């Protein structure tokens, strides 16, 4: 009689331990980045191992995500963080590119289109495309920008299929991809 009771208690304790680890302890170990520029810069460095000082230019929170635009010299990079249940962050991705970044972010509130970069071309708006849907994103004046918009429909794409940037005179200053009707 004592052996089945002992095994039952042991099994319950084992299951409770697994649940505790999976839902409470593990997220706190992975989500360990504080919500400040120094900790965010350090997390980007640890992921990319870029041996230069990372300059955070802008950050934007979207639901459970944080989009971070950073620069190294003349290049900009984009990093994506996810907030954990302990209100700390975990870095998901970070990449360094030219001056402009396009991505589709999966958040707890759905998918968002994200455009970020330096604004040397003085863009005032971007028309971005995801499959056949278009999104007009207004850019505030400044050296850098991060703009976003919720997607109308869920997509399997991880980045927009195209984008066109316009300056304040409505002149096209850049184009990448896009639907057939926007081709030159």
Domain boundaries, the chain: 31-182
Predicted local distance difference test score (pLDDT) of residue 18: 66
User: Which structure tokens are listed for 14?
Assistant: 């084992």
How far apart are alpha carbons 39 and 32 in whole angstroms? 9
pLDDT band at 183 (very low <50, low <70, confident <90, very high): very low
Instruction: Say if residue 29's pLDDT is above 60.
Output: no
What is the layout of strands, in order, in the sheet containing 55-62?
Answer: 55-62, 65-72, 75-83, 89-96
Q: Residues 6 or more apart from 176 whose CB is under 8 A from it?
A: 102, 162, 163, 164
Segment 26-55 mean pLDDT: 84
Pick the residue with more confidence: 112 or 46?
112
Which residues, other chains included, contact 108 with Cβ-Cβ below 8 Å and sequence gap of 6+? 63, 64
pLDDT at 142 over 90: yes
Distance CA 96, CA 79 (A): 9
Q: How far is CA 136 from CA 21, 82, 115, 124, 148, in A?
A: 44, 25, 11, 11, 10
pTM over 0.85: no
The predicted-structure confidence for 83-131, as pLDDT tens digits, reads as follows 988 889 999 999 888 788 999 999 999 999 999 999 988 999 999 999 8
Task: List pLDDT tens digits, range 62-88.
Answer: 999 999 999 987 889 999 999 988 889
pLDDT on residue 16: 67
pLDDT score for 180: 47
């Amino acid at each position: 009689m004592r052996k089945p009771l002992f095994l039952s208690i042991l099994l319950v304790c084992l299951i409770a331990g697994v649940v505790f680890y999976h839902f409470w302890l593990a997220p706190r170990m992975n989500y360990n980045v504080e919500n400040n520029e120094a900790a965010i810069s350090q997390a980007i460095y640890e992921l990319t191992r870029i041996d230069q000082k990372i300059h955070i230019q802008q950050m934007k929170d979207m639901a459970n995500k944080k989009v971070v635009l950073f620069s190294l010299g003349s290049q900009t990079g984009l990093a994506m963080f996810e907030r954990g249940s302990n209100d700390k962050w975990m870095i998901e991705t970070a990449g360094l590119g030219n001056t402009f970044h396009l991505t589709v972010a999966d958040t707890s509130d759905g998918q968002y289109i994200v455009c970020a970069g330096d604004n040397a071309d003085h863009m005032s708006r971007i028309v971005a495309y995801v499959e056949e849907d278009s999104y007009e994103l207004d850019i505030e004046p400044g050296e850098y920008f991060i703009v976003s918009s919720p997607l109308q429909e869920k997509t399997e794409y991880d980045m927009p299929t195209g984008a066109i940037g316009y300056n304040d005179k409505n002149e096209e200053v850049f184009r990448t991809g896009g639907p057939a009707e926007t081709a030159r």
